[in-house]
Structure 1
Amino acid sequence: MSALFGFNTRSSVRSAATVQPEKPLSLPYELRTEMNWLDFSGTANPLGTPKAFIRAMHTALVDGELSYMPDRSAHTFRATLARKYGVAPESFLCGTSVSDMVRSVAQTYQPCSVGVVSPAAPEFMLAVANAGHDVVELASPHTFVVPDVNTARERGLSFDAAVLANPTYPTSRLLPRQTLENYLEACSWVVVDESLIELTLGGESMIPLIDRYRNLIIIRSLSSAFAMPGIPISFCIAHPDTIAQIERFFDNTGLSMFAEVVGAHVYNESTEYLERTREFLDTEIPWMQCMLNLIPGIQIFPAEANFVMCAFDYAAPMNLAVANTSELVLRLQLAGFLVRKLEGMPGIVGGKYFCVGVRSREDNEKLLSALREIVIGAR
């Protein structure tokens, strides 16, 4: 099995996809509860888990609801989603993590060459490869913007399907509708990860396109949108015929009772919560970009979601107190802050890049203060 990476080189997709980049520092639960780290390495909603969700989970524990096997067809969850989005319940397929849903979609189709947006979550490439496909890395040679399908093919990329993201992690860029439509016209099937769409600057969902394009499968998630990274709950949205096809090969045994409990409340009681999230991020994302860019040595990339991709370049004339990104990230950890270093991520060349999540204003100010102190040093 082989894969096309970049525009000119080929390598083993199995070896390339399974060499995962360095992951954020993670410790056993009992140790993390004893520490006071502020975690900026994730993408969870900065407002925290909605109280309605917490009450629903508490009630489920107290009333013994978790002693029952979950409904593997997720009838209640699908009915709630159908009311929210105004489409048929048969347009939904509920599961666990986003990468698991990508794999479930990919295994439905005959092996082919699948273009995967890059840079993006490396788990996407692994999911596609494990479903038996060849991976084609969709990366622009000079920018971090998703290349248009025609431009990609003019540069020598050949692929039959695609996995995109709206927004893309870690570049924090939204997917233009016209770019997606061009992929849909050119590919046999296209997956779009919209798990972070609620955490953007006015991001536009592509769900209205599912009736027009039966080859479009959108994946959404509750985990980041509602600050529940420890409870993976995701779902696919597509034309009912497409969902029925995917369901023939879908293993739904991973769906938990928590998903059923939370799913029953998910959009009935969360409208005001999501509105407050958008209002907060509309000011906090631009403010965070501006403040990060004012720190010597740090370059930011335009962000349209609740995380900012950055690069640290040591410049001798500036006489900075740290020499590179690895030292900067380590010093931040010692000061009690976790950010995600992007070294080794597909589509990221060099060790200077890292990603910072957007949290509350109070937490963001603490991180910025620590960054300035570390980078500038005592003078």
Structure 2
Amino acid sequence: MNWPKHGANPKYLFNALEEPYPDKTIDFSANINPLGPLPVIKKNWQSLFEEISVYPDPAGLNLKQKLSNETGLDTQEILLGNGGAEIISLVGRFLADKRVLIVQPAFSEYEQACKANNCNIDYHQVIAGSWDLNIEVLEKKLKNTDAVFFCNPNNPTGLYYPDAVVKELLLACKKQNCLLIIDEAFYDFVYYYESITKYILEFPNLLIIRSMTKMFAIPGLRLGYVLGDSKIIKCLARFQPEWSVNAIALKVGEWCLDSENYRKETLHLIMSEKKRLFAFFHHLQFKVSPSETNFYLVKDPTLDNQFPMFQFLIKRGIIPRHTMNFPGLEGKWLRFAVKSPSENNQLMEAIQQWKSDCHLYL
């Protein structure tokens, strides 16, 4: 079967499975803030209409300045992008024909961007279940590597590697003259997150990719940015089309950065719901990844491949993220986003029903 490469857009999944699309669905495959977009966006949506009749600022200076204030970096060390996906594509072009190491499991776009640019790709596999990064083995692979893609917090596991691990990896990469690309698309969902932007000044071999679509629930607008040494940022900018980020996204991005209370409310909700969800899964003796962000992996230990449970859930309109295209997982786990309390209740009800009826489907 040709599995969809991403979560979200669930109709593609149902088409691939040749299943009828349910009247009601809850998409647990999209890791978006359950609070939804900022109220200020809806309140001021009409004012954004004026933005569509003029060209956007190609440099996005107002938003860059706000990001500069938040990160402590110069605007020359920031590049805006049409979502994290465009940034990854630009990095792929920058690495054309280079030797790249991808820490797996990870977002599939790293490999896709590298293959499109004729990179020589190697992999470092984190073993499912123990989730040990095994940094000593990873460091040995750096001798023949020009760049490393490292997703932190990791997608799809939700694991977050703290500052000490990042610093150790940075030092090892610097010693081997290797670029370390850290994808922090979900950093702002981590309650005890330790900022690594301070390392940009110390390590010119560090790039940090961030997305604004997840925390602020604006995936339809597409907005992200990359932080790094000004020389690398300048190189990446050369590959980017003019007016890559639209005017509405630029304005909304400014509002997002002024929403500290919204971010705090989100973290409180995610922490509270994860505690409730994990207690539920542990009670059923399911395995759950020790996620520090707004999604997690789940495994019914009575199954090697989770497809029977996956199929059971989607028939009821509960849509998990399959893991068929995550190396090391390959269908042995399912990924779920942390949604609203009522939606999480519906998930737990469906899982409870699965446990009661699963013998009928095996």
Tell me, yes or no, whether TM beats 0.5: yes
Q: 1:51-92: per-residue Cα shift (whole Å, max 9, x none)?
A: 11333443212xx32122222111121112122223222221
2:120 to 134, 144, 156: 134
Aligned to 1:189: 179
Distance 2:142 2:102 in 1: 15
Distance 1:129 1:136 in 2: 11
SS of residue paired to 1:346:
coil
Letter in 2 for 1:73: A
Aligned residues of 1:96 and 1:254 also touching (Cα < 8 A): yes
Aligned to 2:299: 311
Q: Which structure has the highest helix share of the two?
A: 2
1:59 aligns with 2:47: yes
Percent same amino acid at aligned positions?
Answer: 21
User: RMSD of aligned C-alpha atoms?
Assistant: 2.8
1:145 aligns with 2:129: no
Aligned to 2:80: 94
Letter in 2 for 1:247: A
SS of residue paired to 2:270:
helix
1:113–1:77 CA distance, 2 compared to 1 (3 A): same
Aligned residues of 2:139 and 2:172 also touching (Cα < 8 A): no
CA drift of 1:266 comes to 2.2
1:165 to 139, 143, 151: 151
1:360 aligns with 2:346: no
SS of residue paired to 1:211:
helix
- Give the unaligned 5+ runs of structure 1: 1-17, 316-322
- Give the unaligned 5+ runs of structure 2: 13-20
Aligned residues of 2:8 and 2:27 also touching (Cα < 8 A): no
Distance 1:249 1:22 in 2: 25
Aligned residues of 2:159 and 2:289 also touching (Cα < 8 A): no
Aligned residues of 1:219 and 1:237 also touching (Cα < 8 A): yes
Aligned residues of 1:118 and 1:347 also touching (Cα < 8 A): yes
Matches within 5 A, 1:243-254: 243-254=233-244
Out of 251-260 and 87-96, give the one that drifted further: 251-260
1:376 aligns with 2:356: yes
Letter in 1 for 2:132: V
CA drift of 1:368 comes to 0.3
CA drift of 1:359 comes to 0.9
Aligned residues of 2:7 and 2:29 also touching (Cα < 8 A): no
Aligned residues of 2:182 and 2:208 also touching (Cα < 8 A): yes
Aligned to 2:17: none
CA drift of 1:196 comes to 0.6
Aligned residues of 2:33 and 2:217 also touching (Cα < 8 A): yes
Matches within 5 A, 1:209-358: 209-268=199-258, 270-295=259-284, 298-314=286-302, 325-349=306-330, 351-358=331-338
For normalisation by structure 1, the TM-score amounts to: 0.83
Letter in 1 for 2:321: R
Aligned residues of 2:103 and 2:126 also touching (Cα < 8 A): no
1:25–1:96 CA distance, 2 compared to 1 (3 A): closer
For normalisation by structure 2, the TM-score amounts to: 0.86
Q: 1:158-195: per-residue Cα shift (whole Å, max 9, x none)?
A: 42211111200111101232332233233321111111
Q: 1:17-40: per-residue Cα shift (whole Å, max 9, x none)?
A: x99757556239xxxx99431111
Aligned to 2:11: 27
CA drift of 1:303 comes to 1.3
Distance 1:190 1:293 in 2: 36
1:151–1:34 CA distance, 2 compared to 1 (3 A): closer
Aligned residues: 346
1:86–1:152 CA distance, 2 compared to 1 (3 A): closer
